[in-house]
Amino acid sequence: MKPTATTEFIPTGKVKPISEIENIESLVERYRTRVFRFIFASIRDLDTAETLTQDCFWKAHQHRSSFRGDCSVHTWLLRIAINLVRDHVRTKRFQFWKKAELVPSHELVNWPDCGISPEEQSDISDQVNTIWKASGSLSERQRTVFILRYIEDLEIHEIAESTGLSESSVNVHLVRAVRNIRRRLGATK
């Protein structure tokens, strides 16, 4: 006799976290920083990043019924964010008369006074600024993969899920991104 209702254990990772997606406020509270950070690191414009983050959550809320639960909510939101960033970059290509004020890394943070000398601070700031600039000059896909791996600390399979690329493709883009950044660093030294 076949059981009419399953009483088997269902792994929580595969269950559609309906409540998490339904409640927009808790969704925003939980993922806002990560989504905003990714978008900001991709486009380097605070106002646009804020707008695109809003768009991301708005789209997620609109299309919540299409979420199948085959990946985590974070990955799903990142996928939407990646598409929004891609659309923004493509639109921006045709808006050459608009100049966004991009944030340089030295304006991003005030270095806390943690016992390092101003010279050391300046040196560190220069290094970070160089990588920040270099990552900005990467191709869209390389930058996305680089940010997801080294700023968002995602694993290769998570990046593959978010970007829709295969894991080997992610690795290839990552290698190229690191190579280009290192080349830039070498050029500035």
Partner 1 sequence: MSRHPLEEHFAECFVNSSVTPEQLHHIRQCLKCREELQQFEGMIALLRDTVRTGVDERLCERPSQLGRPAPAVRRLEHTPGLVWKWALAAAVVVSIGMLPLVFQSWQGRQGRRPASPGLNSDQDAAALMESINIHVSRDLPAPMEPLMLVVRQVQPKQ
Interaxial angle between packed helices 167-188 and 140-150, expressed in degrees from 0 to 180 and rounded to the nearest 10? 90
Interaxial angle between packed helices 140-150 and 73-93, expressed in degrees from 0 to 180 and rounded to the nearest 10? 150
- Region near partner 1 per CB under 8 A, out of 5-13, 24-32, 70-78, 113-121: 24-32
Nearest to 54 by CA among 69, 65, 43, 39: 39
Q: Which is nearer to partner 1, 53 or 162 (CB)?
A: 53
SS3 state at 175: helix
Q: Which residue among 1, 10, 15, 109 contacts partner 1 (CB under 8 A)? A: 109
Single-letter amino acid code for the residue at 34:
R
Q: Which is nearer to partner 1, 54 or 75 (CB)?
A: 54
For residue 112 the two structure tokens come to 């806390």
Q: Which is nearer to partner 1, 41 or 80 (CB)?
A: 41
Q: In the block, which residue shows the tokens 């309906």? A: 18
Q: Work out the number of other CB atoms within 10 angstroms of the CB of residue 133.
A: 16
- Region near partner 1 per CB under 8 A, out of 57-65, 68-76, 80-88, 157-165: 57-65
Q: Which residue among 17, 20, 30, 54 contacts partner 1 (CB under 8 A)? A: 54
Q: Which positions lie near partner 1, rule CB under 8 A?
A: 24-25, 28-29, 32-33, 36-37, 40-41, 46, 50, 53-54, 57-58, 61, 105, 108-109, 124, 127-128, 131-132, 135, 150-151, 153, 171-172, 174-176, 178-179, 182, 185
